[in-house]
Structure 1
Amino acid sequence: MSNLLTISEAAELLGVSTKTIRRWEAQGRLNSIRTAGGHRRFTVSDLIGNKQDNSLTVAYARVSSHDQKDDLDRQKIVLEAYCAQQGWSFEVISDLGSGLNYRKKGLIKLIKLICSDQVERLVLTHKDRLLRFGSDLIFTLCEIFGTEVVMINRSEDSTFEEVLAQDVIEIITVFSARLYGSRSHKNKQIVKQLKEVADQLK
């Protein structure tokens, strides 16, 4: 059942309401599979076939925390402007969560779209916006399914030490939040000290 979507997931994927999904099913535009309990399930490939444009350009944006929400908005603006300038029909998928979290809602949706063989290109502002570690695995999936990866900023200005420091900060931040709670004073103090150390390395 892992390859099948619920009616809510199907509606989210197509950007419509669950009421519309039910209507399309009644009209014969969508085929559903019924579970033993009588619940509707839909295949990704059947759903994507109902999008107007089967050659999707997907732009993906991510930040690690609520404090960076302004940066997330900036990423979206950059991605939208770039895709529009290229004349591509595109969809923006965004996540608010750690680059170490592989279960983010947007990331899972992106992987499902890629594996349905319907994404023509994936657009990112930076490589680490996808995942802090493991982005090469997603890029391998893109290669297998013929999805072009477009990186807007390919800056190599950061030194190895700076990149390593950012990776370590992300790891400690995640485990500190799990240990003390993401909104606790202790966690905020640790994150602040880590950022001060990182600034000294620049």
Structure 2
Amino acid sequence: MPKYHKKHMYRIAEVAVLLGVHKDTLRRWEREGKVKAVWLGRERRFPEEEIRRLLGEANPDTVVLYARVSGHDQKGDLERQIEALREAYGSKFSNVIVLTDIGSGLSTSRKGLRKAMELARERKIRAVACTYSDRLTRFGFEYLEEYFSSFGVEILILNREEDKSPQQELVEDLLTIVTSFAGKLYGHRSHKVKKLKEEMKEALKRLDTDDQLKTP
């Protein structure tokens, strides 16, 4: 059987070849509700997940509940995120995997997120759920969404409104950016990186103090 390409929608002729059936059979299956099709103008297209399902390759009915906080003193919020996700999505899937991270949403070394990406790549999950999009990543959410989608994994966002993150997390993000660029310039173990981080922390503290003094 010919291999299919990783794209989202297929024309009826392509699906007929992949499944080894006549186009009329696909039309009949659609009428009977055995296969789902999406109409684009006057042409029907078949989602990749439908093809995988018919081929017996659909991703298992498993969801990753992903939560993240910026610091160790926010573990209570981490638990609240997981509890909210369990209540919203736990009963909608056969299996649940809980993954968490403590660190900046800009960090590229988060073990929980990397594990979720690995499970998606191995097609072991069907969805990833989080309370806010910035729990998954502070920037570039669209790229992650495209990555997961390419493996048939949907991202479920519980709250679509922007998360009003505390100032502490914004400080962590700034420090992550500074550390990343400084590490490339001086080497990650250089004393210059440590010194720069300390100077940034002091500068941010002064800014915070100034803002509080200006607040009526």
TM-score, normalized by the shorter chain, greater than 0.5: yes
Q: Map of 1:57-136 to 2, 5 A cutoff?
A: 57-86=63-92, 88-136=94-142
Unaligned runs of at least 5 residues, structure 2: 1-58, 180-192
Task: State the Cα deviation string for residues 84-140 of structure 1 (Å, max 9, x = none).
Answer: 343542111001111111111111111111111222111110000011123222211
SS in 1 for 2:105: coil
Identity %: 30
Task: State the Cα deviation string for residues 12-52 of structure 1 (Å, max 9, x = none).
Answer: xxxxxxxxxxxxxxxxxxxxxxxxxxxxxxxxxxxxxxxxx
Provide TM-score, normalisation by structure 1.
0.56
Q: How many residues align?
A: 143
Root-mean-square deviation over aligned CA pairs: 3.8
Is the contact made by 2:64 and 2:99 (CA closer than 8 Å) also made in structure 1?
yes
Say if 1:64 and 1:155 are closer, same or farther in 2 by CA, change over 3 A: same
Take 1:66 and 1:192, find their aligned partners in 2: how far apart are those partners? 23
Q: Map of 1:150-189 to 2, 5 A cutoff?
A: 150-156=156-162, 169-174=171-176, 175=178, 179=194, 187=201
Is the contact made by 2:61 and 2:94 (CA closer than 8 Å) also made in structure 1?
no
SS in 1 for 2:143: helix
1:172 is matched by which residue type in structure 2? L
Take 2:135 and 2:142, find their aligned partners in 1: how far apart are those partners? 12
2:51 maps to which residue? none
How many Å apart are 1:82 and its aligned residue? 1.6
1:120 is matched by which residue type in structure 2? R
Say if 1:66 and 1:143 are closer, same or farther in 2 by CA, change over 3 A: same
Is the contact made by 1:126 and 1:152 (CA closer than 8 Å) also made in structure 2?
yes
Take 1:192 and 1:70, find their aligned partners in 2: how far apart are those partners? 28
Take 2:88 and 2:202, find their aligned partners in 1: how far apart are those partners? 35
Q: Considering only CA atoms, is the larger Rg found in Structure 1 or Structure 2?
A: 2
1:143 maps to which residue? 149
